[in-house]
């Protein structure tokens, strides 16, 4: 049986990648709805700024921050243990943090590939595994995992990122089936072009020519048009309504339709769109 509507003011929400973009907007939206917050990010200054803004706007909410590099498994485990010990009332975990790496598979090193998987997949798994006993102990809890439009489609030049986002999509869907009937809702989110720092902070594979890598980052950035606050509101509405799957923006809805209509040949359409985007940017 599915749980009823999620009650934001009933517990504490944990948000990763909270120093900017969707994570920062989620923190603000959760505080407005009455949630206490535990915010995680590797950007200490950005995290402090978000926490300060939330405390000013919602002084009734308790805000706790943890600076952590989720690429570090041991550091992730230590933070998870502190969060669990300090917040037995956790009712929401939002695995939002993510990193990107541009380049064909033969243009990236295994170390670069592993870095993406460590942040985008391993950290999600480890944090969820650590916090799941708390979530299941609090009836009405909810879990969110942010995948990507590249968890729906897999374009050339995004092999590491797409691999990680397809992985967390599968993880989330299987976990949702396992948690059915246990009082915990699960939502998998597929954002399209959200105006975050993902493009500017993306790494470029060691084997990618510098000019090509910079052009690719600029083309990617041009696709990021939606305000993160709009995306965050859609995510929080999906949580409140216990939606299992959320496509954020036309740039997620259209590719989802494309892959359903042409699952074996959508790559040609993507290649054409990529070329068109590149020409428009000149």
CB 99 within 8 A of CB 70: no
Q: Which of 137, 145, 245 is nearest to 184 (CA)?
A: 137
183 SS3 class: coil
Q: Of these residues, 8, 161, 220, 266, which one is catalytic?
A: 161
Cα–Cα dist 75/161, whole Å: 22
Token pair for 95: 């695995």
| Sequence-separated (6 or more) residues with CB below 8 Å from residue 260 | none
**Is 161 a catalytic site residue?**
yes
Give the 3-state secondary structure of residue 229: helix
Alpha helices in 33-122 (DSSP H): 44-57, 73-86, 110-117
Find all residues with CB under 8 Å of 141, minimum gap 6, and list them. Answer: 11, 90, 91, 92, 134, 135, 183, 184, 185
Q: What are phi and psi of 175, to 5 degrees?
A: -65, -35
Q: Which residues are catalytic?
A: 161
């Amino acid at each position: 049986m599915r749980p009823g509507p999620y009650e934001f003011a009933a517990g504490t929400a944990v948000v990763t990648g909270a120093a900017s973009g969707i994570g920062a907007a989620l923190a603000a939206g959760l505080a407005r709805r009455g949630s206490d917050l535990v915010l995680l990010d590797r950007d200490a200054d950005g995290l402090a700024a978000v926490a300060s803004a939330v405390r000013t706007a919602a002084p009734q909410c308790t805000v706790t921050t943890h600076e952590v590099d989720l690429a570090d498994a041991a550091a992730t485990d230590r933070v998870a243990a502190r969060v669990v010990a300090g917040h037995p009332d956790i009712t929401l975990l939002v695995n939002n943090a993510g990193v990107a790496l541009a380049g064909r598979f033969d243009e990236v090193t295994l170390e670069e590939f592993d870095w993406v998987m460590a942040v985008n997949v391993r950290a999600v798994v480890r944090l969820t595994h650590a916090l799941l006993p708390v979530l299941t102990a609090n009836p009405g809890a909810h879990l969110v995992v942010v995948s990507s439009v590249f968890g729906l489609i897999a374009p050339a030049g995004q092999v590491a990122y797409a691999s990680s986002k397809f992985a967390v999509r599968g993880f989330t869907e299987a976990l949702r089936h396992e948690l059915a009937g246990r009082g915990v809702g699960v939502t998998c989110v597929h954002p399209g072009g959200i105006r975050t720092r993902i493009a500017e902070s993306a790494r470029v594979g060691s084997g990618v020519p510098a000019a090509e890598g910079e052009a690719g980052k600029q083309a990617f950035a041009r696709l990021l048009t939606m305000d993160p606050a709009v995306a965050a509101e859609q995510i929080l509405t999906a949580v409140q309504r216990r939606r299992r799957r959320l496509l954020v923006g036309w740039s997620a809805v259209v590719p989802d339709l494309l892959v359903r209509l042409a699952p074996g040949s959508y790559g040609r359409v993507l290649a054409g769109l990529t070329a068109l985007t590149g020409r428009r940017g000149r």
